[in-house]
Amino acid sequence: MPALQAPALQRVIWDGLTEARQVAAQVRAYPDKATTGEWNWVVDASQADLYYTRISAGWDRYGNIKVPQPL
């Protein structure tokens, strides 16, 4: 684990990733078509999934550093 990945930071990151996945699922399950304006919630839900993958599996842009899920 890189030195800057303290357990408390890992927990904060994973709490956010978990919540983002839950909200993304709620957006996808919303029964009405989402309106678009400044934000496109359906696209943002997909973006949340992409961030989840990049942070948990390694992001090529940042040297494939992974943030492992805390125990």
The reported pLDDT for the residue numbered 6 is 86
Which candidate, 21, 30, 28, 23, places its Cα nearest to that of 52? Answer: 21
Residue 69 scores a pLDDT above 70: yes
C-alpha span between 18 and 31 (Å, rounded): 22
Predicted structure pTM score: 0.78
Residue 1 scores a pLDDT above 80: no
C-alpha span between 30 and 63 (Å, rounded): 36
pLDDT digits (tens, 9 = 90+) for 29-50: 998 887 778 888 889 999 999 9
User: Considering the chain, what percentage of its residues have pLDDT values greater than 90?
Assistant: 52
The reported pLDDT for the residue numbered 42 is 87
